[in-house]
């Protein structure tokens, strides 16, 4: 925990491994779980998976805030960041409990009044939802602990925990189903137990910090809370608006085109969006290093780091997107069927161009947020959303799904240009990024 710099390439590798391994396990586990549970019960389980992921937003950006603060302050020693960590983790329990209450109440209404289930399945679903709801504090606390590990650039450990949790999201339910246990409550309990085990291991790895004596007084703790919340609130705005903006177009498209045509847009978009795991891993590894350099070194050290991030992202995503563009028609025909490829390949090409722009935007976004400019990025995302949806609504009746793809791609280009411009603005002649 001494804050030594680790190789960024290794950090990227560990992030990709921790993200990608659960996806591979899911490919094998999901068919088994779905076959054993049946379509209705499996549908409920997917809703619970989604709800746990969504209510993870109730960390209100404090996990990322802890990463930024730990990285920025770690050169000063553990004593300087001890209060940040303890205060941040304790603060995460409150929104976690709030999320638990909201999910508990909402799920009761949802099962009773929205879902149409037989009595036995409805009872099982309620119990499973309640069990998942009261695991939300574990989710928010886990987000904070992972943020601390990433702040120290301990990506091997952080990614091991992320990967383990992702694998355990699928493996225990699969084994329960294979043993003829089809109870949704038991499946969700296995997920909660898995999260407790991962959380315990995370705490064990951070025990030297978590049990260290506090080095500051209560007034400093209040300032820590205010600083973390200020960062976290604006981070939450970006975390909500950003992903919504990436996928909101499909809901608008569905209002204008036939269901049979909608798949020509949503299927290739679902596929190309998965490519963003690569730039996301790069940005995750770059984030704490940018925060550390911004706090302790000169901009001459920061600019080469950003330049390297641009080059790596461009050299990886550029050829990949280009190859997929060239082979889009053939690949879609092999993956699905030639008839589908005929209707989707041109849209895929436009979306792949947008994915490249989106990928390149990960580095300037990480730089702005790592240096504390979360308010600016959040307001930018809100501005883009307000501009994007009306233009999409205007274009769709005339240009259809191709128009939607073009507008979506132009929005990603605008996002990249704005983020790059903001980075250039905040890089001045001082030794650090301007606050």
Mean pLDDT for 35-64 is 81
Residue 353: per-residue pLDDT: 95
Mean pLDDT for 303-325 is 92
**pLDDT at residue 38 above 60?**
yes
Residues 6 or more apart in contact with residue 424 via CB below 8 angstroms = none
Range picked from 78-92, 115-129, 189-203 for highest mean pLDDT: 189-203
Q: So where are the chain's domains? A: 8-216, 234-426
Mean pLDDT for 359-386 is 90
Give the C-alpha separation, 249 to 397, whole Å: 14
- Residues of the chain with pLDDT > 90, as a percent, come to 28
DSSP state, residue 213: P
Q: Would you place residue 413 in the very low, low, confident or very high pLDDT band (cuts 50, 70, 90)?
A: very high
Mean pLDDT of the chain: 83
Per DSSP, the three-state class of 116 is: coil
Give the range among 47-56, 107-116, 364-373, 388-397 with minimum mean pLDDT: 47-56
> Do 140 and 56 touch, CB atoms closer than 8 A?
yes
| Alpha-carbon torsion (188, 193, 194, 198), positive or negative | positive
Mean pLDDT for 326-335 is 84
**pLDDT at residue 434 above 70?**
no
Range picked from 125-139, 197-211, 373-387 for highest mean pLDDT: 125-139
Give the C-alpha separation, 6 to 93, whole Å: 31
Alpha carbon 416 to its chain centroid, in Å, reads: 19
Q: How many CA atoms lie within 13 A of 96 on its CB side?
A: 20
**pLDDT at residue 219 above 60?**
no
Give the range among 74-78, 368-372, 391-395 with minimum mean pLDDT: 74-78
Q: Of 317, 327, 286, 324, which is closest to residue 304 (Cα–Cα)?
A: 286
Residue 137: per-residue pLDDT: 92
Mean pLDDT for 279-302 is 82
DSSP state, residue 276: G
Give the C-alpha separation, 196 to 11, whole Å: 25
Q: Of 317, 301, 311, which is closest to residue 354 (Cα–Cα)?
A: 317
Backbone angles phi, psi at 311, to 5 degrees: -65, -45
**pLDDT at residue 265 above 90?**
no
Exposed/middle/buried for residue 414 (C-beta within 10 Å: 0-12, 13-18, 19+)? middle
**pLDDT at residue 386 above 50?**
yes
Residue 295: per-residue pLDDT: 76
**pLDDT at residue 72 above 60?**
yes
Residue 397: per-residue pLDDT: 83
- Residues of the chain with pLDDT > 70, as a percent, come to 87
Residue 298: per-residue pLDDT: 66
Alpha carbon 116 to its chain centroid, in Å, reads: 31
Range picked from 184-193, 297-306, 371-380, 417-426 for highest mean pLDDT: 184-193
State the pTM of this model: 0.74
Q: Which position has the token pair 């209705």? A: 40
| Alpha-carbon torsion (73, 74, 78, 81), positive or negative | positive
Give the range among 31-35, 137-141, 430-434 with minimum mean pLDDT: 430-434
Give the C-alpha separation, 307 to 345, whole Å: 33
Residue 428: per-residue pLDDT: 61
């Amino acid at each position: 925990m001494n804050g030594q710099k680790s190789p960024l390439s290794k950090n990227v590798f560990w992030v990709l491994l921790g993200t990608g391994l659960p996806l591979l396990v899911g490919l094998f586990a999901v068919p088994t779980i779905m076959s054993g549970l049946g379509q209705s019960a499996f549908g409920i389980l997917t809703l619970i998976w989604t709800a746990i992921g969504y209510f993870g937003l109730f960390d209100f950006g404090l996990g990322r805030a802890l990463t930024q603060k730990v990285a920025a302050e770690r050169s000063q020693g553990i004593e300087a960041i001890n209060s940040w960590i303890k205060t941040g983790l304790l603060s995460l329990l409150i929104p976690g409990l709030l999320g638990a209450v909201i999910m508990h109440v909402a799920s009761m209404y949802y099962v009773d009044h929205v879902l149409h289930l037989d009595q036995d399945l409805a009872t099982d679903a309620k119990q499973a939802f309640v069990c998942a709801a009261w695991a939300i504090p574990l989710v928010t606390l886990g987000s904070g602990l992972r943020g601390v590990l990433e702040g120290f650039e301990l990506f091997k450990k952080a990614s091991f925990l992320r990967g383990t949790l992702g694998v355990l999201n699928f493996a225990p339910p699969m084994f329960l189903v294979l043993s003829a246990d089809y109870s949704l409550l038991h499946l969700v309990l296995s997920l909660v137990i898995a999260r407790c085990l991962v959380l315990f291991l995370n705490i064990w790895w951070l025990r030297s910090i978590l049990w260290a004596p506090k080095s500051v007084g209560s007034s400093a703790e209040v300032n820590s809370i205010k600083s973390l919340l200020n960062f976290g609130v604006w981070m939450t705005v970006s975390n909500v608006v950003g992903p919504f903006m990436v996928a909101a177009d499909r809901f608008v498209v569905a209002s204008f085109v036939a269901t049979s045509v909608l798949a020509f847009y949503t299927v290739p978009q679902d596929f190309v969006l998965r490519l963003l795991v690569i730039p996301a891993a790069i940005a995750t590894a770059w984030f704490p290093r940018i925060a550390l350099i911004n706090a302790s070194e000169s901009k001459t050290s920061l600019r080469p780091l950003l330049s390297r991030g641009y080059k790596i992202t461009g050299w990886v995503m550029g050829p990949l997107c280009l190859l997929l563009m060239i082979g889009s028609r053939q690949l879609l025909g092999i993956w699905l069927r030639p008839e589908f490829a005929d209707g989707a390949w041109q849209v895929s090409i436009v979306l792949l161009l947008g994915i490249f722009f989106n990928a390149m935007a990960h580095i300037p976004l990480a730089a702005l947020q790592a240096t504390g400019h979360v308010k600016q990025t959040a307001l930018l995302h809100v501005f883009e959303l307000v501009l994007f949806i009306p233009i999409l609504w205007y274009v769709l009746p005339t240009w259809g799904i191709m128009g939607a793809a073009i507008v979506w791609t132009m929005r990603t280009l605008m996002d990249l240009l704005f983020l790059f411009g903001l980075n250039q603005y905040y890089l001045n002649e001082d030794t650090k990024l301007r606050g």
